[in-house]
Structure 1
Amino acid sequence: MLCSVLAGVYNEVLLKGAESAKRGVTTNLQNAFMYCQSILVNGVILIWEGKAGDAVSAENRAAIASFKVFAIISIMSSVGLVTGFFLKHLDSVLKAVASALEVVFTMLLGFLLFGAPLGLSGLTSATLVGAGVALYARPVPVRPLPEDELKIV
Structure 2
Amino acid sequence: MIFKAILANKDLFPTRLSLVVFVGYVGLFTAQGLLVTASRNGNTTYPYNTTTVVLLTEVLKLALSTLIFLKDHTFWSFISEVYDNKSMLVLYMVPAFLYCLYNNLSFTNLAAFDPTSYYIFMQIRLLFTGVVFQIMFKRYLSGMQWYSLCLVTLGCVVQKLDYATISKLFGPVDLSIQNVFYNSISFLLIVVQLSCSVCAGVYNEYLIKGNSGKNVHLMVQNVYMCLDSIFWNTVVLSYQGQLITAFSMPSLASIAQTLVILIIVNNACAGIITSMFLMNLNSIAKAFASAIEIVFTAMLSYLLFDIPIYINTVISVMISSYAIVVYAKNPVKNPPVKSYLPNADKRDTSLKEKLLENTPSV
| TM-score, normalised by the number of residues in structure 2 | 0.31
Q: Matched residues in 2 for 1:80 and 1:124: separation?
A: 33
Give the partner amino acid of 1:14: L
SS in 2 for 1:20: coil
Q: Using a 3 Å threshold, how does the CA distance of structure 1 residues 104 and 139 change in structure 2: closer, same or farther? A: closer
Whether 1:54 and 2:54 are equivalent positions in the alignment is no
Whether 1:42 and 2:207 are equivalent positions in the alignment is no
Alpha-carbon contact 2:205-2:279 (below 8 Å) kept: yes
Q: Matched residues in 2 for 1:125 and 1:60: separation?
A: 39
| TM-score, normalised by the number of residues in structure 1 | 0.66
Q: Using a 3 Å threshold, how does the CA distance of structure 1 residues 44 and 108 change in structure 2: closer, same or farther? A: farther
C-alpha RMSD of matched pairs (Å)? 3.6
The residue that corresponds to 2:211 in the other structure is 18
The residue that corresponds to 1:69 in the other structure is 260
1:107: Cα distance to partner? 6.4
Identity of aligned residues (%): 32
Q: Using a 3 Å threshold, how does the CA distance of structure 1 residues 105 and 12 change in structure 2: closer, same or farther? A: same
The residue that corresponds to 1:3 in the other structure is 98
1:102: Cα distance to partner? 3.7
Alpha-carbon contact 2:234-2:243 (below 8 Å) kept: yes
1:127: Cα distance to partner? 6.6
Can you list the C-alpha shifts for 1:81-133, whole angstroms capped at 9, x where unaligned?
Answer: 11111111211011122234344556666787xx767488xx89977974663
Give the partner amino acid of 2:242: K
Q: How does 1:4-153 map to 2 (within 5 A)?
A: 4=99, 5=197, 6-21=199-214, 24-105=215-296, 118=307, 130=317, 133-139=320-326
Q: Matched residues in 2 for 1:124 and 1:117: separation?
A: 16
Give the partner amino acid of 1:20: G
Alpha-carbon contact 1:111-1:118 (below 8 Å) kept: yes
SS in 1 for 2:326: coil
Alpha-carbon contact 2:201-2:283 (below 8 Å) kept: no
| Greater CA drift, 125-134 or 90-99 | 125-134
- RCO higher in 1 or 2 (8 Å CA, sep ≥ 6)? 2
Q: Matched residues in 2 for 1:106 and 1:137: separation?
A: 17
Q: Matched residues in 1 for 2:314 and 2:291: separation?
A: 11
Q: Using a 3 Å threshold, how does the CA distance of structure 1 residues 116 and 25 change in structure 2: closer, same or farther? A: farther
Give the partner amino acid of 1:60: S
Give the partner amino acid of 1:68: L
SS in 2 for 1:138: helix
Give the partner amino acid of 1:59: P
Consecutive unaligned residues in structure 2, runs of 5 or more: 1-95, 100-196, 331-362
Consecutive unaligned residues in structure 1, runs of 5 or more: 143-153
Aligned residues: 136
SS in 2 for 1:95: helix
1:29: Cα distance to partner? 1.7
Can you list the C-alpha shifts for 1:63-98, whole angstroms capped at 9, x where unaligned?
Answer: 122221111111111111111111112110111222
